[in-house]
Amino acid sequence: MSKLWSGRFAKSGAKLLDEFNASLPFDKKLYAEDIKGSIAHATMLAKQGILTDAEAASIAKGLLQIKQEIEDEQFVFDISHEDIHMSVETRLIDLIGEAGKKLHTARSRNDQVAVDFKQYVQKQTLIIVSAIEEVIEVLLSLAKENTTTLMPGMTHLQHAQPINFGFHLLAYVSMLKRDIERFESSYHRNNVLPLGCAALAGTPHNIDREYVAKLLGFDSVSVNCLDTVSDRDFALEILFNCSTIMMHISRFAEELILWSSYEFKFITLSDEYSTGSSIMPQKKNPDVPELLRGKTGRVNGNLIALFTVLKGLPLAYNKDMQEDKEGVFDSVETVYMSLNILKEAVRTMSINKDRMKSACEVGHLSATDLADYLVQKCDIPFREAHFITGRAVAHAEQLGLDLSVLSVDELQKVDQRIGNDVVECLSLLNSMNARNSQGGTSTKSTCKQIEIFEAWIKARG
């Protein structure tokens, strides 16, 4: 069959054009959304008396048969049909004849592709959100087991203050919670029906867009047709949300890589989620977190690619916009896969608590506690207390000791005002638990944070 739009053409297009022009190789992924959108459109056309009930029923039956053919891998995809929309429509006309030719009444591929793509984005958003919830649950249960597990908190990748491992994990829970909120906020903002805008200016047919919105689960109908067929903000938003969550995953991945090195040895990744070397028999490599970190680059690229495609496009639809889909498919699939494997890698890794604790014993992690002690117990202004503590650290370094084990005698050589009670505040566990302010690292505060996250998850149902 010739192309659906071939009426004004004297010659058929070149094969090279077909290959260059077609989106079918990738947009066939949208077949279910395309068919759902078309059934809703036909149902509305019948309600409005634009099609007869019999025509709409025959269209719906034909479309469901096509869906089955695609799922049974019986459908013949032919690149000369350009995209999934015209592939389905052409097959529908083959199957049911005249009624099939009426389906495209009051519709253009411009609003059709928008509704298909948007349905896909909305559906994937919900799938990603539940995958994030599963990662959060794994992190929360690990956090619960580790609210007293000391580890060095760092800034500049240098030892800073003792924290507990659970508290560290909750930082990632916080990020993932924001990710869920971001995906959901995009979902709600974009849950607006584009179909019914036709090519760009609306249609003279008496359509009922509210009804179609209801059939397809959209909350409302877009206001301006010209914007609607030009708009890909929903695609940009999911790409941005994917990039943001991948950035979070990548930071975590980076820590997993560091922690599994011999130098840190804070964790051991399970054999199930580690790889070996083809030449060095002793190697056990953290390929999973490395790939998580690496894939983030591609996901970021997809976001920038679509921004670049869209900038400078005049209203309304331009074929450039066909470039919107592959990056979104890729980012969505990458994020989904990344969340699933991250969940398993974390669930199966072991925590080397002793190693984490001994890492706290170097780097003078309780130095801030000594400064705070001088402020609280000796009424010394913080700036001066900071200086005195710096001298105590230098003294400890000279003795080859960590500040946390320096004797009171030695500390008094630095400043006479230091009393015997300093010992308690220099202990690493006490130092961690002293940070009991809201959101702090103390075990008590960490448990409170776990409660907050658990209540949040529970309330989501």
Q: Which of 336, 329, 92, 56 is nearest to 212 (CA)?
A: 56
DSSP letter for 349, please.
Answer: -
Least distance from ligand ARG to the Cβ atom of residue 70, Å: 17
Residue 322 near ligand ARG by CB under 6 A: yes
Rounded to the nearest 10 degrees, how much is the dihedral formed by the CA atoms of 31, 34, 35, 38? -160
Which one of residues 80, 110, 164, 274 is an interface residue with ligand ARG (CB under 6 A)?
Answer: 110
Least distance from ligand ARG to the Cβ atom of residue 80, Å: 13
Residue 273 near ligand ARG by CB under 6 A: no
Per-residue mark of binding to ligand ARG, 418-447 (x: CB under 6 A) = ------------------------------
CA distances, 424 to each of 263, 320, 406, 419, 437 (Å): 29, 67, 12, 11, 19
Q: Which stretch binds ligand ARG (CB under 6 A): 7-15, 58-66, 278-286, 318-326?
A: 318-326
Residue 198 near ligand ARG by CB under 6 A: no
Q: Which stretch binds ligand ARG (CB under 6 A): 63-71, 251-259, 319-327, 450-458?
A: 319-327
Residue 111 near ligand ARG by CB under 6 A: no
Which one of residues 266, 317, 373, 453 is an interface residue with ligand ARG (CB under 6 A)?
Answer: 317
Least distance from ligand ARG to the Cβ atom of residue 322, Å: 4
Catalytic residue chosen out of the listed positions 156, 278, 350, 437: 156
Q: For residues 128 and 146, what is the distance between their CA atoms, to the nearest angstrom?
A: 27
Q: What is the DSSP string of 303-339?
A: HHHHHHHHTTPPSS--GGGGGGHHHHHHHHHHHHHHH
> Residue 415 region, left (φ>0) first, then alpha (ψ -120 to 50), else beta?
beta
Which one of residues 91, 104, 109, 248 is an interface residue with ligand ARG (CB under 6 A)?
Answer: 109
Residue 321 near ligand ARG by CB under 6 A: yes
Q: Which of 322, 344, 325, 343 is nearest to 333 (CA)?
A: 325
Instruction: Give the residue with the Cβ less far from ligand ARG, 24 or 132.
Output: 24
Residue 120 near ligand ARG by CB under 6 A: no
Burial of 227 (0-12, 13-18, 19+ CB in 10 A): middle
CA angle in degrees (0–180, nearest 5) for 138-144-145: 95
Applying CB under 6 A, the site for ligand ARG has a residue count of 10
Q: For residues 283 and 83, what is the distance between their CA atoms, to the nearest angstrom?
A: 48
Q: Which stretch binds ligand ARG (CB under 6 A): 92-100, 106-114, 169-177, 443-451?
A: 106-114
Q: For residues 64 and 224, what is the distance between their CA atoms, to the nearest angstrom?
A: 31
CA distances, 103 to each of 45, 216, 237 (Å): 9, 17, 31
Q: For residues 63 and 68, what is the distance between their CA atoms, to the nearest angstrom?
A: 9
**Token pair in block for residue 419:** 């009393």
Catalytic residue chosen out of the listed positions 130, 185, 277, 358: 277
Residue 316 near ligand ARG by CB under 6 A: no
Q: Which stretch binds ligand ARG (CB under 6 A): 140-148, 190-198, 282-290, 316-324?
A: 316-324
Q: Which stretch binds ligand ARG (CB under 6 A): 54-62, 107-115, 332-340, 364-372?
A: 107-115
Q: Could you confirm whether 395 is annotated as catalytic?
A: no
Least distance from ligand ARG to the Cβ atom of residue 60, Å: 22
Q: Could you confirm whether 277 is annotated as catalytic?
A: yes
Q: Which stretch binds ligand ARG (CB under 6 A): 105-113, 171-179, 204-212, 298-306?
A: 105-113
Instruction: Give the residue with the Cβ less far from ligand ARG, 27 or 415.
Output: 27
Secondary structure element (H or E) that encloses residue 121, with its range: helix 109-145
Residue 27 near ligand ARG by CB under 6 A: yes
Give the HSE-up count for residue 461: Cα atoms under 13 Å, Cβ half-sphere. Answer: 0
Instruction: Look at strands 150-155 and 158-164 and give their pairing.
Output: antiparallel
Least distance from ligand ARG to the Cβ atom of residue 362, Å: 58
Residue 225 near ligand ARG by CB under 6 A: no
Least distance from ligand ARG to the Cβ atom of residue 116, Å: 9
Q: For residues 138 and 18, what is the distance between their CA atoms, to the nearest angstrom?
A: 48
DSSP letter for 267, please.
Answer: E
Least distance from ligand ARG to the Cβ atom of residue 39, Å: 19
Q: Read off the amino acid at residue 291.
A: L
Instruction: Give the residue with the Cβ less far from ligand ARG, 113 or 180.
Output: 113
Question: What string of H, E and C letters represents the secondary structure of 18-78?
Answer: HHHHCCHHHHHHHHHHHHHHHHHHHHHHHHCCCCCHHHHHHHHHHHHHHHHHHHCCCCCCC
**Of residues 75-104, which lie at the interface with ligand ARG (CB under 6 A)?**
83
Least distance from ligand ARG to the Cβ atom of residue 117, Å: 8
Least distance from ligand ARG to the Cβ atom of residue 110, Å: 5
Residue 310 near ligand ARG by CB under 6 A: no
Residues of this chain that bind ligand ARG (CB under 6 A): 23, 27, 83, 109-110, 113, 317, 319, 321-322
Active-site positions? 156, 277
